[in-house]
Structure 1
Amino acid sequence: MSFYKISALLLFFMLSVALPASASTLRPAPAPERKDISSIADVIAPKLQELITGDSDSEIELEETFGTRALSFVLDSFKVLSKEGAQFIDNFAALPQLSKWYKKQRQNPKKVEQWLDMGRLLLIVLASAYFIRWLAILLFYPLRSRLRKKKFKSAVRRFTAAFLRLGVTFIPIFLFIAVALLTIEQSQPDKWSSFMIMTVIYALALFQTLLITFRFFLAPRSKSLRILPISTENAAFIKFWASWYGGVLLFGTFLAELAKNARVPQAAISGFGSLVALVIIVMTIIVITKKKMLVASFIRGDALPSNKGHSSVWQSMRSWIARVWHVLAIAYLVIGYFVTMMGPQGSFLIMQQGTVGTLLVLVVVRLLLYLASKVAYKKQTDPTSVGIYRPVLRFFIKVLVWSLGLTCVAAAWGVDVGILFASSWGQRIVGSAFSIASTILVLIAIYEVLHFIIERKLNLRDSEGNIIEPDPRSRTLLPMARNVAIFVLGLIGVLVTLSEFGINTGPLLAGAGVLGVALGFGSQTLVKDFLTGLFILIENTIAVGDVVKLGNHAGVVEGMTLRTVKLRDIQGYLHILPFSSISEIVNMTKDFAYAVLEVEVAYDSDLEKVIDVVKRVGDEMYKDPTLKGSILEPMDVLGVDQLGASSIAIKSRLKVTAGKQWGIRRGFLLRIKSAFDAAGIEIPYQHIVYVNKTEAPATPEKS
C-alpha cells in the first residue's frame, strides 16, 4: 500500500517539475530558482518519510461510542478482577512461606533456645492451671449436678438456679487464670515469651467463657435451667455449632496475633486469615443445609393457624422465599467471601453495612405496609365517610414506602443517592412524581367533597337520629352523578399523568374524538340507549325504588345507568333492559295509587247491606292508626260493576300512597271476609252435589 502512495507522490512531483518545462515551448518563462525547489522538497520529504516508515507525529482522534465505552468498562473490570484474583491466589500461595520461616528459626540458635524455653514454660503453666481448674470442677460438681437435675416450677427459682450455676461454673476459669499468672510471675520469663504465653492463656480462658455462656442460655442437658424457649435437640445443635464458630474465630484471631509477634511473613498471615474465613463459610453452608427445612417452615408460617388456606401476594412471596432461601443464602456467602477477599479495602465493611441496612429496611417497610393496610381497611360506622380515599391513600403509601425503601437500600450499599436530586434528570423525575401525586390528591379531595355531599343527601336524619328516606329522584340521580364524577376526575388524572410522562395528549384527544364519531355511526343502538335514558332521567319518568312495567317485564327498579335499567321481579329474578328496547313504561308508584277492591256476592244478597258493610270496612281502615299516612282519602264505593254468571261484583277503591296499594288491598280482603261472615252475606263459590237415584240427595259439600 505504501508503494502505491510513494509512486503517486513521485509522479506528482515529476509532473509538477515537467509541466512548466514543457510549457516553455509555448511561452518563454524564466527558469525556477533553486530556493523554490528546495522549499518544495522540504514539504514533500517528511510525507515520503511517513509513508516509508509508517511513523507519524500526528495523533488520530477516535470518536467514542457506546460500544467502545462498554468494551472499556469490560476490560477495566477484567483488569480489576485479574489483579484482585491474583492477589487472592497469592495469599494462599504464601502459606508455604511458613516452611521458609521455620527453617530460618531453626538455623538461629538463639531463636531455637528462646522457643524451647517458652515451650517448657507454657507446658508448666498449662499443667498447673488445668490441674487447679480440674480440682475446682470436681469440688463443685455435686452442686452443679443437683441444680441440673432439679425441677423448678416457678420462673424466679429457675433463673436463680441458672445464675447460681453460672457463678459456680466461672470459679474454675478464674482459678485457671490466677494460677497461670502466678506461675508466669514466679518464672519471670522474658517479655516476648511472657506475651506469647499470656496470649495462649487468654485465648483458652475466653474460649471456656464462651462455652459457659452458651451452656447458660441453652442448657442442652437440663431443660429446667434453659433460658431460651427451644427444644433440647435444637439447644444441643446450636451449642455445638456456636462452640465451633467461637473456637475457630477466637483461636484464628489469637494465632494471627502470635504469628505477628513471631515475625511470620505478612503474606502468610493474610493467607491464614483467608483460610479461616473459608472454614467459617464452609461451616455456615453445612448449617444451612442441615436446617433448611426448619427455616423454610418458619418463613412460610406453617405454625401460624391464620396462614392456613390463606392466599395472597405476600404469602406467595413467602412460599417462594421458603423454597429457595438456602440457595440465596449460600450464594450470598460465596459472593461475599470473594468480594471480601478480592475487593478493595473496606469492601467487607460495605457489604456488611449493606446487608444489615437491607434487612432493617425490609423490616421497617413490612411494618409500614401493615399500617397502610390497616388504614385502607378500617371499618367506618358513618356512611358519609366511606369514599375512595382509603384505597388510593393505601396505594400512595405503598409507592412512597417502597421508593424510600429502595433509596435507603441503595444508600446502605454505598450508592450516592444525592445524584437523584442534583442531576437534571433526577429533578425531572422528582418534579413529575410530585406533580402527578399532587394532582391525584387534589382530584381525590374534590371527589371526597362530592361524595360527602351525596351521602349526606342520601342519608338525611331527623332530630332523633333516624334516617329519612330520600326521594326516588335523589336515589337515582345522585349515585349516577357520583359515577360521572369518578369518570371525569379519573380522565383528568390520566391526562395529567400522560402529560408528565412526556406524551402529547392533544393527538390522543383528537383521536378519541374521531373514534367517538366512528362509534356513534357504527353503534346507533348504543347512542339510542344513551339518549333515551338521558331523557327518561331528565323527565323523571321512573326512579330507583319504583314498581314499573316495561313492556312484558315488571318489577322494582334496583338501579339505572345512562344505558340500562335493572328490574327485580317478584320471584327475585333480575332483568337488565336497555332503554332502546322499552316501548311502553307503566309506573305503578308515581305520586299516588288506587287500591282497587272488588268483591262478589250472591244474587240473593241485599246489595244495600253489602255496600254498607263495604263502606264500614273502608272507614275502619281509613281511621286505623296503623294505616295512618298510607290511605289518603276515604273509600270511594263505585257500586255494582258486573253481573256475572253466579255473582254480582261490587267495586270500590282507596286512594293510597304510591307503593302501598297491594298491602292495602290484601288487608281489605281479609277484613271484608270477616265482615261478610258476621253479617251473613254469602260469597259465591262452587258446590259439588252427589245425586243417587235410590237414595235421597246428599247434602252439598264444599269444593
Structure 2
Amino acid sequence: MLYVRTILATFFIVVSSLSAYSQTSPVSVLEVQNTVNNLHSQLNEEQFDALASFLDVMSVEQPTGTATPDAEKPGLAALISQTATNFADSAGKNIRDIPLVIKSAFAAGYGFFETRGMSGVLLFLGSFAVAVAAGLGAGRLASIGVGRLKPHSQDQITDNLTSQLRALVSRLAADAAGLIAFIIVSLLVVKFVFADGPDKSLAVALILVVLAVPLIARVVFRFLLAPHRPDLRTVTTDDWTAQFIYRNFVMFGVVTGLAFFLNTQLGVNPSDEKDSLRFCIGLLLHAWIVYITWRARGGLTSILLGDDSEQTSGLERMASWWPKVSMILVSLNWLTQQLLLANDVSTIPPSRSLAGLVLIVAAPFLDTMLRGFVKHLVPDPKGTSEVALNAVEQIKHSYVRVGRVVLAAVLVLTIGKLWGLSLSDFEEGTLGQNIAANGVQFLLVVAVGYIVWEFANLWVNNKLSEELPDAEQGEETEAGGAGKSRLASVLPLIHMALQATIVTITALLAISQLGINIAPLLAGAGVLGLAIGFGAQTLVKDVVSGVFFLLDDAFRVGEFVDVGGTLGSIENISVRSLRLRDATGPVHIVPYGEIAKLTNHSRDYVIMKLKFTVPFETDLEKVRKIFKRIGQDLMENPAHSENLLAPFKSQGVADVNDVGIVLRGKFTAKPGTQFTIRKDIYNMVQKAFDENGIQFARKEVRVSMSGADDDAPLGETQTKAVAAAGAEAADTDSNQQKP
C-alpha cells in the first residue's frame, strides 16, 4: 500500500507541476531532473516502469464533456441577406453623413480664412495666381518651341502612316512638354514665393492634384481623339463624339482632382466624413462614365468597327453590344467595391480597381488602333493575282492576331499588378496553388505555340505574296500554260507540315505542364505509326513518291502535264495526289504512286509550228519575206516582245499534196502565251496575203471530158456528169479522212 500511495502522490505532484507550468511560470529543466532522480531512487524498476506507463495513459487528452459544438455556418441565403443588409446600412450611413462632409469642407474653408485673415487670404491667392500664371506661360512657350522643332500643321500631313505618326508624336511631345514645364515652373515659383508652412503645402497640393490631373486628361484625350483635328485622329469617329468624350473626360479629371484634394484636407486618419466622400464621389464618377458611354454609344461603335472596308459579323456584333457591356462592367465595379467595403473584406484600393476597369473597357479601342496600324504597316501585294491578294489579307489577319495576343498578355499582367497579383503568387504550395500554377503554365505554352503558329503563317504568306505576281496567260490557254514558281507550289505542303508540327509539339508540352506523363503517348504514337505504315502501304507509296517528285521539281501548280495519257492543268498538289483540270472541264485525281511517266508541256519554253497551204503557182520567196516581216513586227510589238523567245519565221515547204503546197512557220514563246501569239499571226498572215494577192489553196475537183470545147458552155448531160464526179471525189476524200 505504501508503494501505491507513493505512486499516487507522485502522480498528483507531477500533474500539479505540469498544470502550474502551463498556467504560470515554466519549471526549469534542473528541477524536473532532480525530481525524477529522487523518485527513481525510492522505487524499483518495475514500480518506476508502471508509474511511467500510467502517466503516459493519463497524459492523453480526454474529452471533458463541456466542449460546445462549433457554431453552424450560415447558409447561402443567410449570407446574401447579411451582405445586403450590411451594404444597405453602409450606404445609408454614408448618405446620412453627407452633411458632415459639407460641414467639414466649410469648416476647413472657414479655418483657412480665420487663421490668415483677409489680407493673408488675398496674399495667398495673389501668390498662387502668380505661380499658376508663370507655369502657364512657361508651358505655352515650351509647347510652341517643341511644336516648331517638329511641325504638325495640316498641310504637312499626307496619307502616309509615317507622316501621320510623326505629326501625332510631335503634337503629343508639344503637349507633354507644356504640361511638364507648367508643373516645374509653378512649383519653383511656389518654392520661392511661399515660406515653409501650411500655405506652401496647400499650394503644392492644388498644383499637383487639382490642376495637374485635368491637364493630364487633356493631353491624353487630345492625343487619342484629336477633337478639332480629324486628320490627326487615331480612331474612326465623327467630330461630335470626339469633342463630347474629350470635354467630359477633362471635366472628369477636374472632379477627380478636387475629390482627391478634399480628401487630403479631411485628414490622414479614417473617418466617417472620408468614407461618405469616397462613397459619393465613387458613385458620381461611375455614373458619369455610364452617362458618357450611353450618350456616345453610336460613336463608340464606329470607333470599334474602324475603317475596314470588309467587316466581319463577329466584329459588328461585338461593336454593337460593347457599349452596353461597358456600362454593366462599370456598374458592377462600383457595386462590388461597396459590398466588399461594407462587409469589412480587405480589397484593393478603389483607384486601382477603377484603373483596371478602364483598361478592360478600353481593350476594344486598343484593338481598333492595332488594326489601323496593321492596315498601314502591311505593304501592298507585288502581284495582282487572287492568291497574292489573299496572301496579303492573311498577313494582315496574322499581324492582328499576334498583336491581340501580346495586347491581352500586357493587359492581364497590368490588371494583375493593379489587383495585387503576380506570377510569383502561383508558386508551389497548396493544392489550389499547384492547380493554378499548372494552369498558368499550360496557358503560357498554348500562347507561345499560337504565336509560333501565326509567325509560320506570316512567313508562308509573305513568300506567297512575293512569289505569285500576276502573270498574263492570254485569252486561249488551252494547254501548256505557265505554272507558278517552285516555292509557291511547295509552300502549301510546307505550311501543312509546319502546322502539324506546331500543333503536335504544343499539345505535348501543354499536356506535360498539367502533370501528365507524355512518354506513354509518344510510345503509343510510334506503335500507331508502324501499324499505319504496314497497313497502308499504298498510301505510304503515294506520299514517298510525291516527296521525290517535288524534290525533282517535276511539276508545279498551273502547269499542263500528260500523265500516262491523262492531260490537264495542275490545280492542286496534295500530300498523296495531283488534281488535274482537263481542257474541257473534267477533274482528274492522279495518285503519285501511279505515275510511271509524266510529260510537262509548260516548262521553260514552247515551240509552236503553223501550217499554211497555198496554190502551186504561189511565189514561195515572197511568202518567206512576208513571214519574216510578220516576225519582225511581232518582236517590235510591246504586247508580245517579252513573251517571244524566237521570232516567227518560215521553215519552207513541209509537204505537197493534191491541193497545193504546204508551208510551215514556227516561233518560240513562253508557256501560256503561244495561243495569243498564234491568233495574231493568223490574222497578220491573212491580211498580208490579201494585200499581196496570194490565195489560200482550196480543194478542187477537176473533171476532164473528152471532146468538150473549153469555151463552149456545158450541156445538161455534161453538167450532170461533172456533179456526179465531184460527189464521188468528195465521198472518197471523206472516207479517207475517217479513222
TM-score, structure 2 normalization:
0.45
- Bigger radius of gyration among the two: 1
Higher relative contact order (CA 8 A, sep 6+): 2
TM-score, structure 1 normalization:
0.47
